Amino acid sequence: MSVTDTAAPASTLRARLSRHVSFLAYDNFRFLKIAVAAVVVAIVLYIVVTPYGERYGGGWAGYTLGTVGALLIVWLTWFGYRKRAYDPERKYATPHDAAGAADAHPPEDPSRLARRLSAHVYLGLALLIIATLHTGFHFGWNIHTLAYALMCIVIFSGIYGVFAYVRYPRLMTENRENLTTAQMQAQITAIDAELRRRVLPLDDQMTRIIRDSIDNTPIGGSMWRQVSGRYPDCGTARAIAALHTRPDGDQENWRMFRAKLDEKDALVSRLRRDVRFKALMDVWLYLHVPLTFALLAALTAHIISVFYL
C-alpha cells in the first residue's frame, strides 16, 4: 500500500501526488527511527537495571517496560479503530480552509493515515521487543504468557500484513491486466451464455460436459478456497479433460468448445488468482483484529491479576 505523503509542504495537489511513497518510508523513516530508539532504550534499561532476584517483569525497569508495552497495545488498537473511521472519500482540507475546519466531521488528512500506519507498524514491532524484555523470558501456562502469546500472534500477523500490503497489490495489478473483477465476471458469464446457446442442439453427452462447466465452476467460496486458490471440484477443468481427446465425429463443435473452454479457463484462473491475492491481503486481519480484542482482555486480566494477588 502506498499513500500520498503530505508531510512535506503540500503546496499543490500535483506536488502531493508526485511524492508517492510507501508508508514504510514515511517521513524519511521517522517512526522506524523512533522505534529503534525505543528498543535501544528498553534493552539498555533491561541490561543496566537489575531488580532483586532475577528479571521477572517487576522492579521499576520491569514495570516501566510493562507500562510502555500496555500503553502501546492500547494505542495501537486505537489506530485500528481510527483506521476504520477513515473515509477515503472525504476531502483533505488545509488548516487555512475555514470551511473545512468548520465541518461537523473533522476532515481526514490522508497523510495522517500514512503517519498512523507507519507508526503502527514500527511501534508494533518495537512492542514485540519491549514486551519480550518485560517477560524476563519467563513463560508458563498462565494468563501472563497467554497475553504475551496473543500479542505475538497479533504482531506476527501484522508483519505478514505489511508483507501482504507490499507484495499483493502489485501481483493483483499484474494479474488483472487492466480488468476489474466485475469485467472478468462479465466475460465469464458471456462465455457461459455462448456455451449454453451452442450446446443446446447437441447431444446429451456434450450437454452434460458443458453444463458441468457452466454450473460447477466455483470462484471464491469458503475462506480456505479463497486463500488457497484451489478448486479441486471444477466443472471447467473436468470439461476440458473430457474434451481432451479428439472425437471421431463433429470435429468442428469439439474444436469450438475446446477453444471456448480454454478461454473460460484462463479467465477463471485469473479471477481465482485475483480472489486469492485479495484474500491473502485480507486474511491476516481475521487473526489480527479478533486476537487484538482477546489480547486486550488478557492484558487486563494480566495487570489485574498481578496486583490483585
Residue ranges binding another protein (CB under 8 A): 50, 52-54, 56, 138, 140-144, 146, 181, 185, 189, 192-193, 196, 199-201, 203-204, 207, 210-211, 214-215, 218-223, 226, 275, 278-279, 282-283, 285-286, 289-294, 296-298, 300-301, 304-309
Half-sphere exposure for 152 (CA within 13 Å, toward CB): 10
Least CB distance to another protein at residue 306 (A): 6
Contact 123, 42 (CB under 8 A): no
Least CB distance to another protein at residue 202 (A): 8
Least CB distance to another protein at residue 75 (A): 18
Least CB distance to another protein at residue 249 (A): 16
Contact 195, 257 (CB under 8 A): yes
Nearer Cβ to another protein (27/192): 192
Q: What is the SS3 assignment for 19?
A: coil
Nearer Cβ to another protein (7/285): 285
Nearer Cβ to another protein (94/139): 139
Nearer Cβ to another protein (18/50): 50
Grid coordinates given for 54: 532475577
Least CB distance to another protein at residue 47 (A): 12
| Residue 35 DSSP label | H
Nearer Cβ to another protein (33/60): 60
Contact 213, 238 (CB under 8 A): yes
**Which residues have CB under 8 Å from 291's CB, separation 6+?**
150, 153, 154, 157
Nearer Cβ to another protein (189/251): 189
**3-class SS shares of the chain: helix, strand, coil, % to 5:** 75, 0, 25
Least CB distance to another protein at residue 32 (A): 28
Angle (deg, nearest 10), helices 26-48 and 59-85: 160
Contact 26, 113 (CB under 8 A): no
Residue type, 11: S
The rounded radius of gyration (Å) of the Cα atoms in the chain is 27
